[in-house]
Amino acid sequence: MQFSSALLESAVNEFSRLPGIGKKTALRLVLHLLKQEESQVIQFSETIARMRSEIRFCKRCCNVADGELCTICSNNYRQQQVICVVENIRDVIAIESTQQFNGTYHVLGGVISPLDGVGPDQLNIDALVERIDQEQTEELIFALSPNIQGDTTIYYVQKKLSGKNVRITTIARGIAFGGELEYADELTLGRSLQNRLPVEKYMNR
């Protein structure tokens, strides 16, 4: 691409760093911003900058938050004794979109994947165990993508929780093995939550 403006080229390069955004899409976005009122573009940039500098992570579940606790953990109408364990924040958004779950979450920040150099110590597993020890948790639901990494993580955490008085379940296999949770349609994901299985039955299938 040839640019008549260094500023335009710089903006396109920055947008193209975003996942799934190529140079052509980046150029289209930048040209769109050029057509907007200057005040709108300033507000856009300030919102992004404020998000990056002020956003926090919930001290209880590791979800994104504006304060110490996220809006889900601080909601007294949620089932605080039920925890849904997910890989990342996108999975929280996906499950919330189903409107089929009224408990709380725990974001691991990934899954165990030795080939990618991700071990248990790099995930929020110890925080989950401490949370279960401190709170009167009744059920732990694993909502991890049904693949080798997800199953390995379930197995590891289950062993860590051995002997604790908590019911451990996992979402049903409405989602095909090897699929990604965040890409499942809302109906399938909702039914998988409703028809969850005891984790022992899942791991011994």
Six-digit token pair at 55? 């956003």
Q: Is the pLDDT of residue 103 over 50?
A: yes
CB 144 within 8 A of CB 85: yes
Q: What tokens appear for 171 in the block?
A: 């979402």
Rounded distance, CA 131 to CA 147, Å?
26
pLDDT at residue 170 tops 70? yes
Residue 180 confidence (pLDDT) above 70: no
- Grouping H, G, I as helix, E, B as strand and the rest as coil, residue 173 is coil
From the centroid of its chain, how far is CA 8? 34
pLDDT, position 1: 76
Distance (Å) of CA 155 to CA 135, 138, 192: 22, 19, 19
Residue 122 vs residues 119, 134, 156, 170, 189: alpha-carbon distances, Å = 6, 22, 13, 22, 27
Q: What is the pTM of this model?
A: 0.77
| Cβ partners under 8 Å of residue 162, min gap 6 | none
pLDDT (tens digit per residue) in 149-165: 998 999 999 999 988 99
Is-contact 84 171, C-beta < 8 A?
no
Q: Residue type at 119?
A: G
Q: What is the amino acid identity at position 107?
A: V
Q: Is 139 within 8 Å of 83 (Cβ atoms)?
A: yes
Are residues 5 and 34 in contact, defined by beta-carbon separation less than 8 angstroms?
Answer: no
Of residues 193 and 136, more confidently modeled: 136
Cβ(171)–Cβ(143) below 8 Å: yes
